[in-house]
Amino acid sequence: MSALTTQLATDATDCLLNTHEFAVAATYTPSGGSAAAVVVLFEAPYDASNPLTGFQYENAAALATGKTTNFASAKKGDTLAVGGTTYYAIGVHPDGLGLTALVLSLEAQHG
């Protein structure tokens, strides 16, 4: 990446992950590790329908996106507490550009 591209990516990430803008404070705890304060973009699960077509769709899992440096060793079973609710990571998806999305569930996955 060029210096300008890197700076633009950093600026965009800093804006998105600002709790005065779009992000929320959370507590990330790796399995068997210590809790750490992090900032994430958080999407709660939802059910919705398109009012024009009546098509039903859902986001059955919560999603939290944060800096990869905070989730560098994230794996299934880690927890993220947001707004008093604890979620369990069921998927970890780094984007290769400095952000990682955690797919979350209210229930721990076993096996």
Residue 86: CATH number of its domain: 2.40.10
Residue range of the domain that includes 95 = 3-105
Spell out the alpha helix ranges (H) of the chain. 3-16
Selection from 18-22, 32-36, 45-49, 59-63 with the highest mean pLDDT: 32-36
pLDDT confidence of residue 44: 85
In a domain, 40, yes or no: yes
- pLDDT of 111 > 60? The answer is no
Cα–Cα dist 33/99, whole Å: 21
For the chain, the domain total comes to 1
3-class SS at 43? Answer: strand
Of 44, 93, 92, 41, nearest in space to 66 by CA: 41
pLDDT confidence of residue 6: 66
The H or E element that residue 50 is part of is: none
In a domain, 111, yes or no: no
Q: What is the pLDDT of residues 51-106, one digit of tens each?
A: 777 776 666 789 999 999 999 999 999 999 999 999 999 999 999 888 999 999 99
